[in-house]
Chain A
Amino acid sequence: MTTANELTPKEKQELKTNEQTRPGRYYVPDVDIYEDDSGLWLWADMPGVEQDSVRVEIDEDVLTLQGEVSLRSYEGLKPLYSEYNVGHYLRRFNLPAGAFDEDKIKARMTNGVLELELPKAEKAKPKRITINS
């Protein structure tokens, strides 16, 4: 018997390392990372970030996810009460170099969630070795 999951709010994690030069607090987006034989999938929560404000980079073995929120959506608004703060998102991951086919990486932004698909390079896929009798 399963009970319906109740979502509970989480406090945003502020980015404390690798400070950015531009003013403003950065937050670490929550991610889910899934892997199977064909590739790696990653989902990052970046509410308030539009498709054009996302930057995904792979440099050697570092994957960088960056999302910027727009101040425009706060124009004319005066805070009365707050339970959460807003800010840009930044997170970095170490990836094994050469494991992914960089030309085939797909990124998509839907409802404030960045979805990344990193297909494995042929040589990184597990190979089954047949045993000859």
Chain B
Amino acid sequence: MAVLSFRPTFNPFHDLLDLQRELDRFLGKPLGSDFGLSGGGVFPPVNVFADKDGVVIRAEVPGVDPNGIEISMEGRTLTICGERRRENGKPGSYHRRERSYGKFSRSVTLPEDLDRDKANAECKHGLLTIRIPKAEAAKPKLLKVGAA
């Protein structure tokens, strides 16, 4: 009796360089047609990963108050909104101003096979992580081959 498994295997990243090379490979590579991103050039830049349960969207939002981030879902569109505020409004001179401030809003169209109601988000250390599991029907199933 044989068992067929469609579960993908994930090799752990050996070190940081390994992860960096993997991310390089997917830099700007288009996702499947049912996944729509508003395109590069909109803050925040996002990375999309697969884990054993579904999809994980990650974005770097340093200096953004996690309580002020609004994530809304309308149909298949997930929208991330927030604001980065200046820390210090004192008079005096800035020697350098490399960091930008302001509001942001980014939309992502999610594929059909995700269970949008079970999505959850967390923001820690300036890293926003949104997890959306696959719908039950789309999860990989094990098929048992019976002896006749």
Contacts and interface: CB of A to CB of B under 8 A. Distances in A.
Interface string B6-17: 001010110111
A7 B101 contact: yes
Contact of A78 (B10, B46, B87): B10
Given A47-B61, A48-B127, A75-B12, A6 B22 contact: no
Given A5-B103, A83-B40, A111-B126, A31 B60 contact: no
B17 to A, nearest CB: 4
A49 B16 CA distance: 14
Given A34-B88, A36-B92, A111-B126, A9 B62 contact: no
A86 B20 contact: yes
Contact of B50 (A30, A47, A77): A77
A38 to B, nearest CB: 9
Contacts of B97: 32
Nearest to B44: A9
Interface string B95-135: 11111111110000000000000000001011101000000
Nearest to A69: B16
A41 B12 CA distance: 39
Contacts of A111: 61-66, 123, 125-126
Interface residues of B, number: 66
Contacts of A6: 43, 102-104
Interface in B45-71: 45-52, 55-56, 60-66
B125 A77 contact: no
A80 B26 contact: yes
A107 B4 CA distance: 54
Contact of B62 (A5, A33, A80, A113): A113
Contacts of A75: 12
